[in-house]
A and B are shown apart, each in its own frame.
Chain A
């Protein structure tokens, strides 16, 4: 039983969730209290995880739960971004009357599910974690239930996600059937010989995961859900499930299916190229900023997957670096979005940014930095993210992937430039409110400085990430 100390973070967060639920039920008007408590508990959670991160690889519960460098790093950025997501959204949910006790509790449960996903070393444990996070997300997407778009997005996400979970489960059962185990390491040992059953299993599992990460051709839900959900939930969608899904992607590809890389490599390359191109092209015509960022995140996931397609530690590390920088850029972008408020109404169309730079120079400058960074222009952080990925891709001589990816960045640059054009070159509109809560300001400042100053010391993240080795 002494093993429990290693899952202290998971235990702590589960107890907090139940406790907060009780408090919420028995104490009236405690929504704000619970929101703040949840935030504090996330900070404690982060401290607990960091405390564990000095340990070596640890297997728990009959090897079905694994704590290693990968899971620790992913959990740290997961919970860390969770804190910032909560900080930035606190004012927003008050203004649009969503400040209910369930909101923070659902976020915490979803984070718990993601932590289990990240650490799982067994198909069943993995699926449990996945469903826990998905169930919380269905509700969060439709949280603004009086809003037609929000309800639609919740329903859409539920139906499509359930379908993909079904496929995933089918893939899991095929894998289990042909490899006689649900344990990842055991599957690796048992699947040395090629057979069609496991190959089909891989395909179904990859489909399910590609759905979670919103990679083409399983991206259809993303734009509607991003647009329909409350913005704070969209921010959550844009970052946390992606981190969890990417780390599960890494885990599946490089633990149970590591021997079959000739089977899945082509699939990943295809998904990656399709996402990069589609995300870049489809975003051009968008008018809604949230919808646009949905397409943009599709193409960014393409780049993250390109690193995984290389079958090398360098590639895995580059993907992890990519998602770390990606999450900071998204945080900064959404912080700017939260600042477009006038008379208790939030604005989210590209046109609303028109001429922003005249009245709001600092906000526009942050947006400028973020957008150029998203487009991958040096010397901003986004460039280094892409640079690492292409470094890994070209090391494996996958020139086609590299050239297509870089050409897609040129296409993508167009729509980011279009937003910059609207901010800086177009005639100005009404002023927005300038008083924002301190959490939002801090988040924007930290993330913008991170993006801007990344080039001064670019080895920071790489050094941490270089400990993560899968092969």
Chain B
């Protein structure tokens, strides 16, 4: 047996968390705990980069597969990655150290508990992207609720209890139906192993209901209109780092789930429900963009923009075209970087001025020039300016959409314009203009650790914006494989109908 690299990737953060739990920090500020957490998460990042390096990008099979007996006779613990999951794993391991560095500014009490929560969260998130068994996937997918609930509830803002409950119950309600579907799949096909299920396929008569059950879970998590209302609340009340994790990675679990499970396992149902998803996605894009325009709270505005961006993602996935799906994956990675950066940027000014209301700011460019520059890059990334990652994703998604349905693509394109409108307007109100609030004048520009975290995010946003090839390379073979399987199943089923 080879070295279980994926399991170590999953377990390493938990080991770090246990280490922090059982060691006492000499100083009251828990500096050493922080260094341990940072060290562990950076080690994990390097490990995942190594994984990317040794990963065979041309193969369509799952690699580094580990398969152990777990629930005897029923379910195996099976993990493995393909070109799609590897990117999400790297995104996770990349965002986590940034979160840990930014903990400085936002978390004042119970730092140790917070670090443990983040590391445990990382374990669950990597687990979601690795798992090749539905039950194992469900386990990681649901387990992530516990640390996130605590992060929002303990370290959140004023209405944190309400938001934490809403987040937890909404997501749980969506997910229990998925559990029913997973168990049904077990009894229908005799396995929950994803690879085997890809080969076996699921009978047509079950697909629609199963698809809906999975959809109920992923739609809440994505979040799609109309079940998106937990997201703005959760984002507004969560501490900065919580928002970053939520936007950058947790939302991606659902998009990943759509590609891996909805498309892969239920191609016929996915085809049947395409229009339904289109409509919901378009409403999400247009409606939430309009809502975002009217927000007075910066975090809420970015939260609504997340919903709109995820609308693009679901639209792209269900175009079932190579460009659409690749664009969606790219958009998810891009949104992971950009939204994380935006939330961190909001955190920077919130920590100094203790308000998130847009109209309390203005003219920051003359007080915080460095901040203005990085914030501009992120704004442009969010609105999809060519040269940033946001552009590549949206462009590919729209290309895929045009191939399928011109009307859908046209409406979605409106969303791009609206996106530019709310982001630029936000930027104008916060950064440009006169300084009409005298308190702002005392604000200091970026500190060292903020420069580190924010520039760590600027680099990939610009780099992959100009040169998306490495990412595209990695996903191309897997997406093609997914689509081939998809078309094959579809043709087969149509043939059997005749």
Residues of chain A whose beta carbon lies under 8 Å from any beta carbon of chain B: 361, 372, 377-379, 383, 387, 390-391, 394-395, 399, 402-403, 406-407, 409-410, 413-414, 417, 420-421, 424-425, 455, 458-459, 462-463
- Alpha-carbon separation in the docked complex, A372 to B169 (Å): 13
- Alpha-carbon separation in the docked complex, A361 to B154 (Å): 14
Output the nearest chain A residue to B184 by Cβ-Cβ distance.
A394
Output the nearest chain B residue to A395 by Cβ-Cβ distance.
B187
Known: A377-B142, A399-B180, A421-B165. 7 other contacts (CB 8 A): A378-B139, A390-B183, A394-B183, A395-B187, A421-B153, A425-B161, A462-B72
Residues of chain B whose beta carbon lies under 8 Å from any beta carbon of chain A: 69-74, 113, 135, 138-139, 142-143, 145-146, 149-150, 153-154, 160-161, 164-165, 168-169, 172-173, 176-177, 179-180, 183-184, 186-187
Across the interface, do A394 and B149 meet the contact criterion of CB distance under 8 Å?
Answer: no
- Alpha-carbon separation in the docked complex, A142 to B443 (Å): 67
Q: Which residues of chain A are within 8 angstroms of B150 by Cβ–Cβ distance? A: 424
Across the interface, do A391 and B186 meet the contact criterion of CB distance under 8 Å?
Answer: yes
Most chain B CB neighbours (cut-off 10 Å) among A378, A387, A394, A455: A378
Main secondary structure of the interface of B (DSSP, over half): helix
Q: Which residues of chain A are within 8 angstroms of B70 by Cβ–Cβ distance? A: 458-459
Q: Which of B69, B139, B160, B168 contacts A417 (CB 8 A)?
A: B168
- Alpha-carbon separation in the docked complex, A463 to B73 (Å): 10
Across the interface, do A377 and B146 meet the contact criterion of CB distance under 8 Å?
Answer: yes
Output the nearest chain A residue to B156 by Cβ-Cβ distance.
A425
Across the interface, do A378 and B142 meet the contact criterion of CB distance under 8 Å?
Answer: yes
Q: Which of A379, A417, A424 contacts B143 (CB 8 A)?
A: A379
CB distance from A291 to the nearest CB of B (A): 22
Q: A377-B145, A402-B180, A403-B180 are in contact. Are A410 and B154 (CB under 8 A)?
A: no
Q: Can you name 8 A-B residue pairings with CB atoms under 8 Å? A: A377-B145, A377-B172, A383-B139, A406-B180, A410-B176, A413-B172, A425-B160, A459-B72
Q: Which residues of chain A are within 8 angstroms of B176 by Cβ–Cβ distance? A: 406-407, 409-410
- Alpha-carbon separation in the docked complex, A377 to B70 (Å): 18
The count of A-to-B residue pairs whose CB atoms sit within 8 angstroms is: 82
Q: Which residues of chain A are within 8 angstroms of B169 by Cβ–Cβ distance? A: 410, 413-414, 417
Q: A407-B173, A462-B71 are in contact. Are A424 and B187 (CB under 8 A)?
A: no
Q: Which residues of chain A are within 8 angstroms of B168 by Cβ–Cβ distance? A: 413, 417
- Alpha-carbon separation in the docked complex, A387 to B142 (Å): 13
Across the interface, do A425 and B138 meet the contact criterion of CB distance under 8 Å?
Answer: no
Q: Which residues of chain B are within 8 angstroms of A379 by Cβ–Cβ distance? A: 139, 143
Q: Which residues of chain B are within 8 angstroms of A387 by Cβ–Cβ distance? A: 135, 179, 183
Q: Which residues of chain B are within 8 angstroms of A391 by Cβ–Cβ distance? A: 74, 183, 186
Q: Which residues of chain A are within 8 angstroms of B154 by Cβ–Cβ distance? A: 424-425
- Alpha-carbon separation in the docked complex, A403 to B72 (Å): 25
Q: Which residues of chain A are within 8 angstroms of B177 by Cβ–Cβ distance? A: 403, 406
- Alpha-carbon separation in the docked complex, A59 to B300 (Å): 70
CB distance from A208 to the nearest CB of B (A): 33
Output the nearest chain B residue to A460 by Cβ-Cβ distance.
B72
Q: Which of B69, B73, B139, B179 contacts A406 (CB 8 A)?
A: B179
CB distance from B13 to the nearest CB of A (A): 15
Q: A391-B186, A421-B161 are in contact. Are A372 and B146 (CB under 8 A)?
A: yes
- Alpha-carbon separation in the docked complex, A403 to B139 (Å): 18
Across the interface, do A425 and B165 meet the contact criterion of CB distance under 8 Å?
Answer: no
Q: Which of B74, B113, B153, B172 contacts A425 (CB 8 A)?
A: B153
- Alpha-carbon separation in the docked complex, A173 to B450 (Å): 80
CB distance from B297 to the nearest CB of A (A): 22
- Alpha-carbon separation in the docked complex, A462 to B180 (Å): 21
Counting from the closest, the 10 A-B pairs by CB-CB distance are A459-B72, A406-B176, A378-B139, A394-B183, A378-B142, A410-B173, A425-B153, A378-B143, A379-B143, A395-B187
- Alpha-carbon separation in the docked complex, A406 to B161 (Å): 24
- Alpha-carbon separation in the docked complex, A181 to B292 (Å): 75
Q: Which of B71, B143, B153, B183 contacts A377 (CB 8 A)?
A: B143
Across the interface, do A394 and B180 meet the contact criterion of CB distance under 8 Å?
Answer: yes
CB distance from A296 to the nearest CB of B (A): 17
Output the nearest chain A residue to B209 by Cβ-Cβ distance.
A399
- Alpha-carbon separation in the docked complex, A383 to B175 (Å): 13
Across the interface, do B180 and A390 meet the contact criterion of CB distance under 8 Å?
Answer: yes
Output the nearest chain B residue to A459 by Cβ-Cβ distance.
B72
- Alpha-carbon separation in the docked complex, A424 to B149 (Å): 11
Q: Which residues of chain B are within 8 angstroms of A463 by Cβ–Cβ distance? A: 72
Q: Which residues of chain A are within 8 angstroms of B165 by Cβ–Cβ distance? A: 414, 417, 421
Output the nearest chain B residue to A361 by Cβ-Cβ distance.
B113
- Alpha-carbon separation in the docked complex, A406 to B179 (Å): 9
Q: Which residues of chain B are within 8 angstroms of A403 by Cβ–Cβ distance? A: 177, 180
Q: Which residues of chain B are within 8 angstroms of A390 by Cβ–Cβ distance? A: 179-180, 183
Output the nearest chain A residue to B124 by Cβ-Cβ distance.
A379
- Alpha-carbon separation in the docked complex, A124 to B138 (Å): 48
CB distance from B110 to the nearest CB of A (A): 8
Output the nearest chain A residue to B187 by Cβ-Cβ distance.
A395
- Alpha-carbon separation in the docked complex, A361 to B153 (Å): 16
CB distance from B216 to the nearest CB of A (A): 11
Q: Which residues of chain A are within 8 angstroms of B164 by Cβ–Cβ distance? A: 421, 425
CB distance from B33 to the nearest CB of A (A): 14
Q: Which residues of chain B are within 8 angstroms of A414 by Cβ–Cβ distance? A: 165, 169
Q: Which residues of chain A are within 8 angstroms of B149 by Cβ–Cβ distance? A: 417, 420
Q: Which residues of chain B are within 8 angstroms of A420 by Cβ–Cβ distance? A: 149, 153
- Alpha-carbon separation in the docked complex, A395 to B145 (Å): 28
CB distance from B189 to the nearest CB of A (A): 13
Output the nearest chain B residue to A402 by Cβ-Cβ distance.
B180
Output the nearest chain A residue to B154 by Cβ-Cβ distance.
A424
Q: Which residues of chain A are within 8 angstroms of B69 by Cβ–Cβ distance? A: 459
- Alpha-carbon separation in the docked complex, A417 to B161 (Å): 10
CB distance from A468 to the nearest CB of B (A): 15
Q: Which residues of chain B are within 8 angstroms of A424 by Cβ–Cβ distance? A: 150, 153-154
Q: Which residues of chain A are within 8 angstroms of B186 by Cβ–Cβ distance? A: 391
- Alpha-carbon separation in the docked complex, A331 to B73 (Å): 29
- Alpha-carbon separation in the docked complex, A154 to B71 (Å): 43
Q: Which residues of chain B are within 8 angstroms of A410 by Cβ–Cβ distance? A: 169, 172-173, 176
CB distance from A279 to the nearest CB of B (A): 17
- Alpha-carbon separation in the docked complex, A284 to B142 (Å): 23
- Alpha-carbon separation in the docked complex, A361 to B24 (Å): 14
Q: Which residues of chain A are within 8 angstroms of B145 by Cβ–Cβ distance? A: 377
Q: Which residues of chain A are within 8 angstroms of B139 by Cβ–Cβ distance? A: 378-379, 383, 455
Across the interface, do A378 and B161 meet the contact criterion of CB distance under 8 Å?
Answer: no
- Alpha-carbon separation in the docked complex, A184 to B115 (Å): 59
